[in-house]
Structure 1
Amino acid sequence: MKLPDYEAWAIFAAVARRGSFTAAAQELNLSKPTISKAITRLERSLGTVLFHRTSRKISLSTAGRSLLPHARQIAYDGEAAMAAARDTTHLLRGQVRIAAPLSYGISHLAPVIADFMNQYPEIAIDVQLSDARIDLVEEGFDLAVRIAALPDSSLRAIKLRPIERYFVTSPAYIERRGEPDHPSQLGEHDCFIYSNLPTPEVWHLTGLDGKKVSVQPKCRLRTNNGTLELASLIAGHGISNLPDFLCANDVKDGRLVTILDDWHFEPIDLNIVMPPSALRPARVNALIDHLRDNLR
C-alpha cells in the first residue's frame, strides 16, 4: 500500500491559498522548484490537473476546486498534530485565531480574552470581529463564537447558552406612536432591520400558542450591527428586536421597554464552533475551555 503524499497535499493547499507558486514557496520556506515538483507529483498520482498555468497567473481547475477542501483538512490536521506534540513537552505557546460577532465580541468576549492572556502569557490571540459568516477552514481560524441556530454542517459545536431576543422600543416612542398589539401592526410602525438575519425584510414569528405569522415591517433603519441601533431606539425613533446581551441593561434602567412579549423569532444560541477535525493544539483547547467556563 502506497502512503498518500501528505507533503504535496499541504503544498497544494498553500499554493491555492496564496495564488502563486512563488508566494507559497516564501510562506513555506521552500524553493519554487520544490513547490512545482510537489504539485506535478500530486497531479500525476491523481491523474488530473489541479491548476491551469499561464505565464502570468495560475487558477484552480475544476478538479482542483473539488479537491481543495480535502487538501486544507490534511494541512490543518498535520499542523494540529505538530502543535499538539510540541504542547505536550513545552509551555503552551503559539497563536490562536478566533472569529466572533462585533457587538458581542466588544461587550462580552473582550474581558474574557484579557483574562485568558493573563493565565497564558505565551499564547498570542488573533481576534477578528465581524457579524458576517466566515469559513473557518478556508480563512484559517481555530474557532469562532457564533450566535445563531446552527445549520447541520461538518463543524464541531459547543452550545453555551440560549440567547433571548426581545422586541424593544422607548417609552417616548410608545407615547408618540402607540404600542402595537400584534406583529401584523409592525407594517404601520417605524422598525429597525438587522440585515444579517436569514430573511431581514420579512420577520417569521411564533406566538406562545405555537401560531406562526410572517410580517413585513416598515424599515426606518437598516444595519448589519445591533449596537448601532441602540442610540436611535433610546431616542424614540422606532422598534427593533435585539438579543438579551445588547438590550438588557437599557431595559433594566428604563431607557427601553419590551413589547410583543408573546412573539418570538426562531430560538438561537451562543455557540463555540470549530473545524471538523477532532485533533486540536492544546493551546486551542485551553482557550475553548476558558470560553466555555466564562461565557455560559
Structure 2
Amino acid sequence: MPRTDDLILFAQVIELGSFSKAAEANGLTNSVVSKRIARLEEELGSTLIHRSTRRLTLSDAGRVLYQRARLVAQSAQEAFDAVTGYSQALEGHIKMSVPTISGELLLAAAVAEFCDLHPAISIDMSLENRFVDLIGEGYDLVIRTGHLDDSNLIARHILDSRWTICAAPAYIGRRGKPMVPGDLLKHNCLIYSYQESGARDWLFSRQEELYPLRVGGNFSTDNAAALRQAAIAGYGLAYVPRCLVYPDLQAGRLVELLPQQVGKVLGIYAVYPYSRQPPRKIKLLIEHIRTRYMDIKHYF
C-alpha cells in the first residue's frame, strides 16, 4: 500500500509545478523527491507524471490520484493545525489588498469586524484593482478575481462572480430592448475600461462556447461606481459584475438583459505567498471573509 506521506508529496509536486519546489518546501533533495514519486508509481503500477524539461503533465491515472491525494494532504494539514494552531497567537499586523467592488460591497465591513473580534490584530487594507506583487510589496493576503498563474502563490477559491448586462427602464423605453447579442451593435454601450479582457469585447455564450462581441459607446470609465451611475441615469447599457448592481436590479432601477447569453464569469480568490503552514491569523481571516461572501452569494 502506498505511504501516506508519498501521496502528500505527490500532491505538493503537482500544486507547486516542479520536483525542485516540492523538494525545497519539504527540506529534501530533488533526487529524494524523484525516488519517492517513482516508488509511488511502482507500487501503483502506473505512470503518474510525464516529465519534460519545461513542465510536468499528469497521466490519466495521475489525474485520478491527484484528486484523492489532495484530500489526503488537506486532512493531514487540518489534523496538524488542530494540534499546532492553538500555539499561534492571534496578534500582529496584516497587510492586504482587495478589489474596489468587493471592498466597498462587503470587505470593508467584514475586515473591520474581524479586527473587532481579534483586538490584538491590526489590518491595513487597500482597495485597488491591479494585481499587486505580493512578495515584492510585502502583502500578506490579497483578494482577487480572475486566473492566477504564479506557482509561488497559493489561491483559495471563494466563489464565482457572474457578470451582467443591464440598463435603466428609461433607456430601454427610448431605445428598445436588445433580444440577441447582435442587437447591442445598435446601442450605446457604456465601457468599463478596467478589465482583463478587452473593455469593448463583451463575452457571450453560444452552445456552451464563449465568443466576444466588439461593442461601441461614447462613455468609458475605469471606475465601476461611475459606470453604475451612468447606467442608472439612462445613458446606455453597462456590462458589469452582477454583485455591483444586484440591489438596483431588485429595486427596478436597472433591468437585466440577455441573462442566458452573457458568458463572463470570474472566480474570486484569496491569494497569499506559498508556505507549508500559513499563519493562523491569515487562515482565520480568509475563512471569515469567505463566510461573509457566502452570506450574500445570491448577489453574485
Q: Secondary structure at the match of 1:138?
A: coil
Aligned to 1:192: 190
1:177 aligns with 2:153: no
Q: Secondary structure at the match of 2:271?
A: strand
Aligned to 2:44: none
Unaligned runs of 5+ in 2: 1-84, 295-300
Q: Which amino acid aligns with 2:282?
A: V
- Describe how 1:14-163 pairs up with structure 2 within 5 A: 91-148=89-146, 150-154=147-151, 155-163=153-161
Q: Secondary structure at the match of 1:96?
A: strand
Aligned to 2:166: 168
The structure-2 alpha-carbon separation of the partners of 1:202 and 1:242, relative to structure 1 and needing over 3 Å to count, comes to: closer
Alpha-carbon offset, residue 91 of structure 1: 4.1
Q: Which amino acid aligns with 1:232?
A: A
Q: Secondary structure at the match of 1:220?
A: coil
Q: Which amino acid aligns with 1:139?
A: E
What is the aligned counterpart of 1:219 among 217, 220, 241?
A: 217
Q: Which amino acid aligns with 2:215?
A: P
Q: Which amino acid aligns with 1:288?
A: I
Structure ID, larger Rg: 1
- Describe how 1:207-246 pairs up with structure 2 within 5 A: 207-246=205-244
Distance in structure 2 (CA, Å) of the matches to 1:104 and 1:216: 27
Q: Which amino acid aligns with 1:115?
A: E
Aligned to 2:253: 255
Alpha-carbon offset, residue 236 of structure 1: 0.4
TM-score (norm: length of structure 1): 0.65
Question: 1:194–1:226: 8 Å Cα contact kept in structure 2?
Answer: yes
Question: 1:103–1:225: 8 Å Cα contact kept in structure 2?
Answer: no
The CA deviation string for residues 233-278 of structure 1, in whole angstroms up to 9 with x for no partner, is 1110010112121111000000000111222233212211111223
Aligned to 1:6: none
Distance in structure 1 (CA, Å) of the matches to 2:243 and 2:226: 14
Question: 2:194–2:222: 8 Å Cα contact kept in structure 1?
Answer: yes
Alpha-carbon offset, residue 292 of structure 1: 2.4
Q: Secondary structure at the match of 1:176?
A: helix
The structure-2 alpha-carbon separation of the partners of 1:201 and 1:267, relative to structure 1 and needing over 3 Å to count, comes to: closer
Distance in structure 2 (CA, Å) of the matches to 1:90 and 1:268: 34
Alpha-carbon offset, residue 106 of structure 1: 1.5
Q: Which amino acid aligns with 1:95?
A: H
Alpha-carbon offset, residue 215 of structure 1: 1.7
Q: Which amino acid aligns with 1:257?
A: V
Question: 1:131–1:225: 8 Å Cα contact kept in structure 2?
Answer: no
Aligned to 2:281: 283
Unaligned runs of 5+ in 1: 1-86
Distance in structure 2 (CA, Å) of the matches to 1:184 and 1:243: 21
Of the structure 1 ranges 195-204 and 227-236, higher mean CA displacement relative to structure 2 is found in: 195-204
Count of aligned pairs between the two proteins: 210
Distance in structure 2 (CA, Å) of the matches to 1:284 and 1:128: 16
What is the aligned counterpart of 2:267 among 260, 266, 269?
A: 269
Question: 2:205–2:263: 8 Å Cα contact kept in structure 1?
Answer: no
Alpha-carbon offset, residue 208 of structure 1: 5.0
Q: Secondary structure at the match of 2:207?
A: coil
Q: Which amino acid aligns with 2:192?
A: Y
